[in-house]
Amino acid sequence: MLGSKHTSVTITKSIFEEALPKIVAALEEPIAASSIVPMYFVCQRARQDVKVALVGQGPDELFGGYRRHLGVRYGALWGRLPNWIRTPISSTVAALPRNEMLKRGVNSLATLDRMRRYQNVLSLLPEGQVEGLFQDGLLEPDSGDTILECWERFGDLMESTDELGGLQFLEVRSTLPDELLMYADKLSMAHGLELRVPFVDKEIVEYVERLPANFKVRNGTRKWLHRQVAGVLPGSILKRPKRGFAVNVVDDWFQGAIGNKMADTLRDRSSKIYQYLRPAAVGALFDDHVSGRNDNHKILFSLVLFEEWLRVHEQPTAVLS
């Protein structure tokens, strides 16, 4: 319809595992976003044809494209339900296997403090479970609340935002620049490719942040306004379910968790992460994931990236004479 040309990039499990150390080295820090893998190879392929490319990062944070935005958008409705309805629903959700995002969302809705509610929405695991991963004495009490101190300066600026707008205000100033835009910049430059990000143009960001939630999530549809603007695209594209950039790479890697590099890393007591983490606690997360009881792929991928980062940046041991 648009006359565009497409080029496929195929990434097998072996290519994935072989490239991971190179990707971590290019990033210079352990950024545990699963899309770093396809981003690396897409930038590599694009550089064969061009020196500058446009990248479509930003609309999810600005227009409400993530599933968590649905929960935040309609969270007030949950709060108005009587306890005799909320309690059994919460208990049912807590018992569901492999629905960690839904569980975190329901748990966050019961949090009265606004910033702490956003903290719960964006967290991979409950604070106590994260702290339980670390060896004794490594973390200060309530270390997970450090993010709340970072957000303090935004409090006055967020007073006029609605609930969804407040979360997005934080995303545009934290997860977007500190994770998505940062790894895209580093991975593209690793191949000599420059990226431009038109959706985070200053005027666009300022305009969208003034819009009420109904222009972003409407009648259960995410990115409502963005879909209106993109009306030139066929309905099969506009209405298809959102798919993660790495859906066919990282997800497949975790589905075949036993016998691959992830299993070897997390099962090996000599892995460098165990200078800081408890092997038994990490093993429990891994076992729950493999058994299907819980979907822990995000935290497990974070641990694998941490291990790779420690290996890449390992300092040579000094030899004493």
Distance between CA 49 and CA 231 in Å, rounded?
Answer: 29
Distance between CA 18 and CA 14 in Å, rounded?
Answer: 6
DSSP 3-state assignment of 203?
A: helix
Residue 146 has pLDDT above 50, yes or no: yes
Q: Considering the chain, what is the average pLDDT of its residues?
A: 84
Per residue in 170-224, pLDDT (tens digit) is 999 999 999 999 999 999 999 999 999 999 999 999 999 999 999 999 999 999 9
Handedness of CA 41, 44, 46, 49 (dihedral sign): negative
pTM of the model: 0.84
Per-domain boundaries in the chain? 67-172, 250-312
pLDDT band of residue 90 (cuts 50, 70, 90) is low
For residue 125 the two structure tokens come to 């695991």
Handedness of CA 135, 145, 71, 67 (dihedral sign): negative
Listed ranges 24-28, 100-104, 193-197, 268-272; the one with the highest mean pLDDT: 193-197
**Helix (H) or strand (E) segment spanning residue 61:** helix 59-63
Distance between CA 119 and CA 108 in Å, rounded?
Answer: 8
